Amino acid sequence: MNRTTKKLHEIGQSLWLDNITRGLLASGTLERYIHELSITGLTSNPTIFDHAIKNSHDYDGAISQKIKEGKSGEALFFELAIEDLRQAADLFLPTHDRTDGVDGWVSLEVSPLLARDTAATLAAAKALHARAERPNLFIKIPGTSEGLPAIEEAIFAGVPVNVTLLFSGEQYVAAAEAYLRGIERRIAAGLNPDVGSVASLFVSRWDVAVAKTAPEALHNKLGIAIAEDAYEKYRALLDSPRSQRILNAGAHPQRLLWASTGTKDPNASDILYVEALALPFTVNTMPEATLKALTAHEEFGEALPSNPGEKLAQFAKAGIDTEAVAAQLLEEGVASFAKSWKDLLDCIASKSQVLKAA
């Protein structure tokens, strides 16, 4: 077992892989990561599947078979994705069982084209979770204004949710409150309150967004400051009477997850966000390149106590409106995932035509 990845678990953080491909599954690489690198969960998104299908022939046979069955477009994609994620979920099931549902999760996203449609998002979340037939599969729903009521309703319906595309402490709190409302309604209705959830805060995109406007002394520091602010709000919410009441009734708390933790600046440490955010009772889902970079380090420093308010004040003094940037990043995230979704469906359509001709 790798020393540095094991250390994250000793700190109290779960280490997940932000990637899935059929090749990772078929080659046994994911299973090896679980046993050797302490990986205890996995996330996926449209961009990951687009690259997996576009850049390999691993899916060609399955696509050909589904074409013969009359499948195409979204329906064909979701069959491919669910097949992959069922296999991954089964690999993580021992972890899920051992931790009583705290860890060992995989994630599947609803169509990003539904990000502004509450009813359609909820319907898709329920349908996908039922089709997957795995207890340790999250459905990813974006933390947009339209996504929040869908999150509450999905939790109330017993669908585990990974809230995606969160960019600030305030957006995190809104998502956490949607989760709490769903659990509180289940308790009031006499239903089992144990419905899993994580809230995914995207980190590195902050530093990319302000790279040209932040003073040099503040480069690569805003994403960490935003994450630390969200962590303070997270711990305060966990300690609140409201959270304690649902925990007393048998719920698990929604965990805070660090997403977009790959270093974008080639001049910065390749584990910049891993070191800074090695915090208890959180999840870090990292790209494969970051995972490999982490394993190459013999040691890394633990996160130190900080004052995120003081750090954020420095950015405000430099003229950076973090509230406006958070709103911008959310809009850009929704648009980026929608583009990846369209690219993914175009890729499947193109491959389908080639395979039909063959």
Which fold does the domain 3-357 belong to in CATH?
TIM Barrel (3.20.20)
* Three-state secondary structure string covering the chain: CCHHHHHHHHHCEEEEEECCCHHHHHCCHHHHHHHHCCCCCEECCHHHHHHHHHCCCCCHHHHHHHHHCCCCHHHHHHHHHHHHHHHHHHHHHHHHHHCCCCCCCEEEECCHHHCCCHHHHHHHHHHHHHHHCCCCEEEEEECCCCHHHHHHHHHHCCCCEEEEEECCHHHHHHHHHHHHHHHHHHHHCCCCCCCCEEEEEECHHHHHHCCCCCCHHHCCCHHHHHHHHHHHHHHHHHCCHHHHHHHHCCCCCCEEEEECCCCCCCCCCCCHHHHHCCCCCEEEEECHHHHHHHHHCCCCCCCCCCCHHHHHHHHHHCCCCHHHHHHHHHHHHHHHHHHHHHHHHHHHHHHHHHHHHC
Q: What is the pLDDT of residue 301?
A: 74
Q: What is the pLDDT of residue 358?
A: 76
pLDDT per position as a tens digit, 269-327: 999 999 999 999 999 999 999 999 999 998 887 777 689 999 999 999 999 999 999 99
Domain spans in the chain, listed from the N-terminal domain onward:
3-357
Q: What stretches in the chain show pLDDT beneath 50?
A: none
Active-site residue numbers? 140
Q: What is the pLDDT of residue 159?
A: 98
Q: What is the pLDDT of residue 299?
A: 82
What's the whole-model pTM score? 0.96
Q: What is the pLDDT of residue 174?
A: 98
